[in-house]
Structure 1
Amino acid sequence: MIKEFCAENFTNIPSAIIAGATRIELCDNLAVGGTTVSTGVLEETVSYCNEKNIPVMAMIRPRGGNFIYHDTELKIMHTDLIEAKKIGVDGVVFGALTSDNWLDEELLLELIDVSEGLQITFHMAFDALSKENQFKAIDWLSAQGVHRILTHGGPIATPIETNFDHLKELIAYANGRLTILPGGGITSDNAQTVLETLCVSEIHGTKIVN
């Protein structure tokens, strides 16, 4: 069972690992849903976590707001991803959409190509897709070798328990082709309920451990 702790910078990572976090998603600016951290933060986190045998997943996101990116932002993401790979992260977390509510296939293919050898998580941009497109996205992302999709299963303001039915549908549809990673509103108090109800082995959150 993997408890992925969503960390804002390095500050709370040591205590989170002591409390039982078994993987780190590293980002900055959680108030806007997470953006890419500085190179310095990434280097220190990877160095520390390597000593503890804790995998680090680095957020690659140039800004808050929507997930529709222009060419300059793609260049930024491309550079940040290459730097993260050089530093030695275990995986990267990114997502991109088009203005007509579909995956930005061209941008994603470029980032996936650069990510060779790393685990890839498609982040909660997934939740901005229509339910119909979410199932199609599972097909496309799994075919490109993406390892997991981070999703709340519904609007982020809703308790995750209200989204269990849809999450179960996504998990069943994925059928092991990739991992559906539940996140958003999962705490140390309800983590066991989420694990048992959804029959998953990975969960994600900022309060996943005490």
Structure 2
Amino acid sequence: MLREFCAENLTDIEAALNAGARRIELCDNLACGGTTPSAGVIEQAIALVHAYEGASVRVIIRPRGGDFVYSKSEFKAMETDIRYAAANGADGVVLGCLKRGGDGFELDSEGTRRLISVACSVGEMRGRELGITFHMAFDELGPQAQLQAIDVLADMGVDHILTHGGRSGTPIEENLSHLADLARHAKGKLVILPGGGVTYENVKRIAKELGVKEAHGTKIVDLNR
């Protein structure tokens, strides 16, 4: 069971690793869903994580809170942040881009591919592949669009999709049926990473019900253990 701990800056990283987390999603501003942390935080967090055997860190690439529809300047900023994180030893990045369509949002395939291309090129330059997680922007898509997005993102090189399985704020227990559908569709393509309400108290039950071996959260391990 791989437990991914969502860390706000340097807070609780060491405690989480000591409690059994083996991947860190590094963020700032969790109150607005997470944004890219500072250069100094990225450097120090990577140093902390890599001191633990088998531990890795993925840095969120998100220039602001709010929606996931980005301007040209914001895309350029994200490209720079990907290069910086990779150059300083990040094991992966966490990203996601949408565009407006119909009554809501659609996957921004072009924008997402653009960022993944940067990540892949930087990884090739460094001689190792960067992991790529598509974050909870995924939850803004409709159920059928999510299934289609899994196929598209897998073809792009995404290896994880972080999802709550429903709208933000809903108990994750209400979303288990849909999460199981997503996991079945994604099997052999990429990893569905359940998050948002997964804790050290319910993670084993949720993972068993979904048939997954990884989970994500700010309470995925007992920091007081």
Query: What TM-score range do you get, normalising by the shorter chain?
Result: over 0.9
Deviation at 1:188, TM superposition (A): 1.1
**2:111 partner letter:** L
1:199 and 1:127 map into 2 onto residues whose CA distance is 20
Deviation at 1:181, TM superposition (A): 0.4
2:48 and 2:165 map into 1 onto residues whose CA distance is 32
Match of 1:120 among 122, 128, 132: 132
Does 1:108 pair with 2:112?
Answer: yes
Match of 2:125 in 1: none
Q: What is the SS of the residue equivalent to 2:24?
A: strand
Does 1:8 pair with 2:8?
Answer: yes
**1:163 partner letter:** N
Q: What is the SS of the residue equivalent to 1:10?
A: coil
Q: TM-score, normalised by structure 2?
A: 0.92
Match of 1:188 among 193, 200, 215: 200
2:165 and 2:136 map into 1 onto residues whose CA distance is 9
Does 1:77 pair with 2:78?
Answer: yes
Q: TM-score, normalised by structure 1?
A: 0.98
Q: Which runs of 5+ in 2 are unaligned?
A: 121-128
* Residues 78-114 of structure 1, C-alpha deviations (whole Å, 9 max, x = no match): 0001000100100000000001121112211111111
Match of 1:51 in 2: 51
Does 1:86 pair with 2:87?
Answer: yes
**1:47 partner letter:** A
1:146 and 1:11 map into 2 onto residues whose CA distance is 27
Aligned ranges 1:160-199 → 2 under 5 Å: 160-199=172-211
Match of 2:214 in 1: 202
* Residues 113-157 of structure 1, C-alpha deviations (whole Å, 9 max, x = no match): 111120000000000001111011001001111101000000121
* Residues 166-204 of structure 1, C-alpha deviations (whole Å, 9 max, x = no match): 011001111220000000001111111111111110000
**2:192 partner letter:** I
Structure 1 residue runs of 4 or more that deviate by more than 4 Å after TM superposition: none
1:111 and 1:170 map into 2 onto residues whose CA distance is 24
Match of 2:126 in 1: none
Match of 1:95 in 2: 96
2:91 and 2:143 map into 1 onto residues whose CA distance is 30
State the superposition RMSD in angstroms: 0.7
Match of 1:63 in 2: 64
1:105 and 1:153 map into 2 onto residues whose CA distance is 21
1:36 and 1:30 map into 2 onto residues whose CA distance is 10
Q: What is the SS of the residue equivalent to 2:100?
A: coil
Match of 2:124 in 1: none
2:167 and 2:22 map into 1 onto residues whose CA distance is 27
Indicate the larger mover: 194-203 or 121-130.
194-203
Q: Which runs of 5+ in 1 are unaligned?
A: none
